[in-house]
Every structure is written in C-alpha cells, then in structure tokens.
Structure 1
Amino acid sequence: MVTSTGWSRRSTPPGEEAEVDFAEAFAVVAGKSMKCYLFTLRMSYSGKAVHRVFASQGQEAFMEGHVEAFRVLGGVPTRHIRYDNLKPAVRQVLFGRGRVESQRWVAFRSHYGFHAFYCLPGKDGAHEKGGVEHEGGRFRRNHLVPPPQVASLTDLNDRLAVIDADEDARHVHGAPASIGFTFAAEAPLLHRLPADDFELGTTLTPLVRRNARIVVRQCYYSVPARFIDRKVRVSLRANEIVVFDGRQVVARHPRLSRRYDYRDDLDHYLEILLVKPGALAGSTALAQARAEGSFTSVHDAFWAAARAAHGEAAGTRALIEVLLLHRQLPHPAMVAGIGATVNAGSCSPELVAIEARKAADAGPAPQATTCEPADAIAEDGQDLTEPVDDAPGARVISLHSRRLPSGTEHKPPPMSVYDQLLHHRPKGTTA
C-alpha cells in the first residue's frame, strides 16, 4: 500500500527497509551564505529519519551520512536500502534495475552488510521511494527555512541531531502511534553494527607548493611551511580535510566547495614571517584570522604598542613570538595575557607568557597546555608548584620546561676510578 507520504508500515516489515536521498539546502556559515546538501535516511516502517548536512553530495558525504544514521539508529536494515541513481554509488545505469556500482561503494555495503535496491529510471520509479523525498522537503521547510546561521557545519549538524531526537514525538500522517514509539519496536530487529569502523576519507598525497599550500579537488589549503616541496597524506572527508605527516595530524581545514577557493591558517606561516615580518600586514592568512575572530582587537593593540616601541620589523617579530605561544596555551588565556600586558604598558612577549600562564592556571585549562612539568624542582629543592609562604595561594611561574636536578642527583664518580688509568703496565703482563 502506497500513500502520499510513501510506503506505509503495513507494506514493509519492521527493521527491513530504509530509503536515502539528498536535498539542496542553504545555511549561513561563519557569516557567509552557503549552498549545502541535506542527507536523509528514513526507516520505511516507523518513519524514523536521520538528517545531516554536508558541503557536497560526493561519495565521502554519502557514506558518512549512512554511518551517522546507523549510529543513531543503533543498527542496519536487514533487507535493503532504496536509492535512485546517485552518482556516489552508481557508475553506470543499465537496463531495468541493473547498475554498475563503484568499487568503494561495494566495499562499504559489504562492510555493513546491507543490499542496495535501485529504483527504476524516469517516471516508472518516481514513487518507489516517495517517503524519503517527502521527508527531505518537509524537514527543510520546517527547520532550514529561513537559512540557519551557524559557525560551522558541525554546529549545524549538532542542531539537527537535537531536532531529530525531538521529532520522535511526531506522528506520521495516519499513524496511531508516534515515530519514537514505533521505532522502539523496530530497533531490536536491526542488524548489529560491525565492530570496526569503515575508513570514510579518500586518501590523497599532494605535493606542498612553495606557498605552503596543497591542491585538493581544485581547492587550496595551507599546511605548515616546513613541508614545502614534500608530499603529505590527506584524508578527504565529507566536511573537512585532515593532513598527516606519518601518523601525526599537522593541519585540519573545513572542506571547501567552490573551485579555486583557498583556506589559510596563520599559524602555518609564523616561521617564515619571523624572517620576513613585513609580509604579515598584507597576508591572506592574517585577513582570514581576523574574519574568524582568532586574531582579536587585543592582538592589534599589542602589535601597535610593539611597533611604536621597537619599530616596524622588531615590533612585528614580537607579535609573531606571541602568536607562537598560542601553540602551547589556550586561546582565551592568551587573549587575557596579552590584554594584561598591554594594560601594564608593556609589549614584552615574556610578560605575555607569564600573564597567559596565570590565566590558564586560574581557569579550567587542559593539562596539555602547561609550559613546565607539574613536578618541577628548583635548585634548592623547593617544589615550584607549591604556594609561596609569604603569598598564600600564589605560584612561582617558570618559563623553562626542563626539570632542574636536586643536589643529591647525578653525583660524579669518585676520582679513584680514574687513578687506575695513570698506572702503566708493561706489555704482556696481567693485573
């Protein structure tokens, strides 16, 4: 039985079938209007649906949407999932329901253990997955109009996850029970998820150009300047790209959707700017850092004070030394430390480090942001992390990250050990 909202629950056994489709949507991301794509997976029996937004409808987004939906549902449909002729899955449409699937898509389906049901091309298959097509349009009209304003697509997807959970109380047209109530009976029938995750990212190995950028799908992304003229490993994912040197993550960027667009991280160029400080003022990396809010008015105030005190080049180098401290201390603590230094009438990077450390210690800062070990020992044996007697609650701040040995450690060997080297023994004799 088919209704205006798709396949009814009486025609589909619980837990066996789902439908998938993409729909276009718009969002204001970081102040810019962006065309994005709404992925929807809908269970045919209960009407339970999972929605996620991606920068593209490529294969990475297609598979990541499935993985997220399976995670929310707690399992995989036991029979099949219905699709039209989506390019991420189908390389060639044959006669009837025959399709030539991409090898990566076949590996993905095999990993999660479900079959693909492809609808007939054209009008003959227009109503074979009407439930998900109706669901995508309904969800977009109710929750994505007007376009939501978010900082990133990750924030938008977090919002959609909450909406999906709230919609469990909704009733599908003509259903006596809510979606959540019906899905509670369907969930135990789903196939269990595999123990291992499927690697969703597409692996690429681009060469880092002389401007410290790599080219990925006709878009440009910065990496640390030390990798210039080297190849790096890139994991291209649905909404981000991750750059690796071996197993270490060296860069992470939101995925760009427009060709020839670029994304620069100011931190990637700091070592170069120390040598050429005059290039900082007009750099695109600085402009993007200002637009994102990571380079604040407090940084500008310190820069102006440093240039007034030391000149253009030396003042800019002082700012770059402060920016390098962001690698070791959290951003809010650094902003507080820079503000305290400027208010004190100073432009010393060393004082910024001290004030930022104080701010980090005062707040709930992560353990990894500390600059010296927690058990640092002074030369006289005093624990630097203990409060000073004449200033209760105060802590001694050390800019050195090495541990100083106590007086009882590393004693030199007695001189008698070396005396035996002074005794000459005739050749051929034994001691």
Structure 2
Amino acid sequence: MPAVSRVELYAAIRRDARGGMSMRKIARMHGVGYHTVKDALGSAWPQKRKVYAHRGTKLEPFKQAIDTMLRADLDAPRKQRHTVTRLYRRLIDEHGMSDVSYALVQRYVKHRRPEIATAMGRMPAKVFIPQTHRPGEEAEVDFGDIAIRLRGELVTCYLFCYRMSFSGKAVHRASLSAGQEAFFEGHLHALRVLGGVPTGHVRYDNLKSAVAQILGFTRARVEAERWTAFRSHLDLTAWYCQPGIEGAHEKGGVEGQIGWFRRNRLVPIPEVNSITELNALIDEWDAADDQRRIGTRAHSIGQAFALEKPLLKPLPAESFETGRWFTPRVDRYAQITVRTNRYSVPVRMIGRQVRVLLHASDLVVYDGRVEVARHERLLAKGGSRLDLDHYLEGLLRKPGALPGATALEQARAAGRFTPVHDAWWSAARKAHGDQSGTRALIEVLLLHRHLAHEQLVAGLAAALKAGALTADAVALEARKIGDTQPSTAAPLTGYATTDAISSLTARRLTHLPPDNRALPSVAAYDLLLKHPRFQEGS
C-alpha cells in the first residue's frame, strides 16, 4: 500500500472531524498523535517541519586550519601540495587534534578542496552545455569490446562505431582486431553505407591508430602517417578529444550508442561461425535501427538522416588499400610469421619470400600476384593456424609424419578431418600397412581440391562400406554421389563448375580450355584421286 502524504492525511482527518468523529477516535484510526489531529483541524496545509541546528562534529574546531592549508595549496607547485595524509599529520602535530578519524578528515577535504578552488576562481565548477548539431556536419567514432561465441568458443572481439551527430544514425563493424586495419575498414564501410563524408569534423579519442603523440595540454596531435594519408584521401577533418574521462564527455553520443548496441543487439550473446556472418547480422540490425526514435525526438533516425544525407560530401572515386603489407620469408615448416603469429603456406614456398596483406579479420598470402593462401586472423599472440592441405605434397614423401602433425589436429578441431576420414584411414592401414595406407589417405585428401567436402566425405563412407580402400575408388564413389546428388557447396577457387559427368576422363577434360579449331576435312585428298597417276593404276 503506497505511503500517504501529510496533505492527504490532513484532508482525511478534517473529513472525519466534519463527520462528527471525536479527536481521540481520529487519532487512533489514523495512528497519529493528538497534536497532529489538532494541527490538521487548524490548517488544511501542513506546517513546515522545524529545522534543527546542525550538530557539529569533532572536526569543527579544525576546519578553519584545514581551509587555510587548502588555500595555500593553490599557490604551491602541483607536486608539493598537501595530501590528506600530510594534512592529517599536521593537524595532530601543530594543532593538537586527537580523537578524530582519518576518514572524517578525508571526507571533508574531498568536498572542500574544489569548493575553495572554485571560490578563488582557480577551478570552475563542472558545467555541461547543451549542443546543437547541424545536419551533415559532424560525426563521432569509437571502438568497444564485445563478446561473441565464435564456432562455439566465447571470444572477445571489437566493435567499430561511426555515428552521425545530427540524426544519430550509426554504422557498426565487428573485427578480430582493433588495429589500424580495422579502423580504416570500419571507416570505409560506414561511409559507403552513409553515402558521403561529413562537411565538418569527426570526433575521435586519442587511439593509437590515428594519434602518434599528444602535444602538451592542447588539442594538437602528431598523427600516424597512414592515417594522415587516409584522411586526405577521404577529405575528412579530425577533431581530437581531451585525454581521459573528460574526453569521453566530448563524444558522448557514440559512447552511449555502443552501450545501447551491446545491451539491445548482443544479448543474448550471438553464436556465429565467422566474423563475416556476424557483420551480416549487424548490417541487418543497423538497417532496422532507422525506425527507432532517440529519446523524445520528433523524428525517427531514418527520417532525420534523410535530411542530412544530401548535404554530405561525395566519396572519392579511387580506392584506398586499408590492409597492411608484409614481406616475410617462409621457414622450413612452411610457415610465415605475421604480428607474432604463424600461418601456413604451401610447402613449395619454403625458403621464398612472399607478400602478405593483413586485414582486420583475415590475411592473404601472395606469390607475386597469385594468391597462395588465406587465413582467418588469430586473436591471441604467439599462436599458429595451419592448413593441412598446404602440407599434403610434403606428406606424400613423409607419410609417417601425418599422425602427429599439428595441421592434422587443427583440421580435426575445425571439423574438416572427420571421423569418417579416421575410420577409412584405419581400415587402409590395416589392409595395406601403415605407410601405404597413410599415403592412400593423403591421395584422398588431395581430392578435396577438386571435390566438395560433403561430397568427398560421402564418397569415403561409401568406399569404406564397400571395402574399397584406394583413392581411385573413393574418387569414383564421390563422383557417383555428385552425379546423383549435386552438392550445394560453393565450388573451390580455380575449378569450374560442371554438370553431371559420367566418367573421370570427361571430368578431367572439363578443366581444359575449349578447342575452337575447325573440324578436320579430307577434301584435299579427294583431289588426288583425279591425278593421272592414280587413274592409270586403276
């Protein structure tokens, strides 16, 4: 039952008194004293409660001395001002203070120091000034940490947010890194979605992707060279906030947006198989966000953005490479090292120098202009990501190295090397011996380059059931399954999609270029029949 205010209590007492009820009965019914009933009958409006004088604490005699010390600190060097501990010791030694706790002095100094500074004109009180943002002029950028379940594992990745200040329209992008590559990719994605660049400035904190050095207590910054080139490419003007918590208030819109996005879009924690899948979800959420209204605004986010979109500056026609290039050398383990992590490449590349393009969530390895490997970027430092396919040519020469290969364990963990593979391998080793059986499995694994994964696994299962323990038999079974039940999986890079083919020879011929030559003719030989020499012989 809600509490009754004193005004309502007085009204009830006066109503009961007018009904002829005695004061004693009224007091008993409402649970109040006689004087309260008397006051209510005397006035419909309760009198103000009596204010008692503040009872001083044991610190009262020493407050003047504390204030004097705090005023003196205003003119002292910053590193030689009173701490609470030093001030407490002086009160004991110089002013005879006793029986006063340190916590009592600390609480008084905490609220009194800024009051004295403000009264002396040294430190103005914190004031937040309402701001009005013009359409198409300003935006804010920030990164935030988010948790997701990536292939069943709980990991922490990073959310880039670009928010227009006028409309509140925000574009988000998730990545496995918060480095400069993710910073650039987030900008390009956001500006493509928005369709232009703000005509004014974009607010940033002092993240390392953009700022190399903060110059004193000013807003001047030494920028990272690639960031300066990227800004120039987009014709984007940067405005840097103050360091620390004060700077967070200067871009409060994007700070609040990231918190709102976490609470409303990432609860419960999303489960995805890749960052690409997560970003597809984020794009859908951003599009749906256009229907939302912020606070008490009269227009939705989409309606407000429609006003400022025509005012944005156009995007440049030329492209900008957001990734970072590296040129590592492939070691004897067919691995390259990029940012303390190791990634595999085909064994034929051992000893050669390759070109690596590092993106926010993946990296691509090139031999000249030809792509030879692609990996999802590792989250932690000192890790390795190995592709079993890269080692197959080497394992054909060293089949005994396969059972303990790290690449094999990673393929098992990723689900690419299935229990069907293990069962077929065990049967092949039992039938042909360890070396020959393992070599047969490696030949089967090479078929993954030409056949879809699901199709080959089904072929392995069929061959195992029939007791066919050779790579050719697996290929034949997989081809039969592919002809009757075409796989919906995407074709492998470098191989053309084909219709149902009835023989292995025809399947191989589909990878040859078309023969556009004319069909052969024997017309020239028919002319020889009219020669006199041939006529004499007849």
What range is the shorter-chain TM-score in? 0.7 to 0.9
Could you tell me which of 410, 414, 417 is aligned with 1:295? 417
Deviation sequence 1:247-291 (CA, Å, 0-9, x none):
111111111121111100000100111111111111111111111
Shift of 1:399: 6.5
In structure 2, what is the equivalent of residue 151 of structure 1?
273
Aligned pairs for 1:19-418 within 5 A: 19-95=140-216, 96-361=218-483, 362-363=485-486, 364=488, 395-398=502-505, 401-402=508-509, 409=520
Q: CA deviation at 1:46?
A: 0.7
TM-score by length of 2: 0.68
Q: 2:398, 2:521 → 1: CA distance?
A: 44
TM-fit CA distance, 1:351: 2.1
Higher strand proportion (structure 1 or 2)? 1
Structure 2 unpaired stretches of 5+: 1-127, 526-538
SS of alignment partner, residue 398 of structure 1: helix
Provide the C-alpha distance between the structure 2 equivalents of 1:372 and 1:26, rounded to a whole number of angstroms. Answer: 39
Instruction: Specify whether residues 232 and 159 from structure 1 end up closer, same or farther in structure 2 by C-alpha distance, changes over 3 A only.
Output: same
Q: Count how many residue pairs are aligned between Structure 1 and Structure 2.
A: 390
**1:296-323 per-position Cα deviation (integer Å, ceiling 9, x unaligned):** 1221222122112211111111111111
**Does 1 or 2 have the higher relative contact order (CA < 8 Å, sep 6+)?**
1
TM-align CA RMSD: 2.8
Greater Rg over alpha carbons, structure? 2
* Aligned CA distance change for structure 1 residues 76 and 357 (closer, same or farther; 3 Å): farther
Tell me, in whole angstroms, the C-alpha distance in 2 between the residues paired with 1:75 and 1:336. Answer: 50
SS in 2 for 1:121: coil
1:126 deviates by 3.3
Shift of 1:186: 1.9
Q: TM-score, normalised by structure 1?
A: 0.84
**Cα distance 1:371–1:395, how it changes in 2: closer, same or farther (>3 A)?**
farther
CA distance in 2, matches of 1:296, 1:170: 46
**Structure 1 or 2: larger helix share?**
2
Q: Structure 1 330/105 Cα, relative in aligned 2: closer, same or farther at 3 Å?
A: same
* Cα gap change, 1:227 to 1:75, in 2 (>3 Å): same
Identity %: 54
Q: Offset of 1:7 from its aligned partner?
A: 9.9
Higher mean alpha-carbon deviation, 329-338 vs 163-172, is at: 329-338
Distance 2:497 2:501 in 1: 17
Instruction: Out of 224-233 and 325-334, give the one that drifted further.
Output: 325-334
Q: 8 Å contact 1:25–1:36 — kept in the other structure?
A: yes
Report if the CA contact (8 A) 1:14-1:45 is conserved. yes
Q: Supply the AA of the counterpart residue of 2:321.
A: E
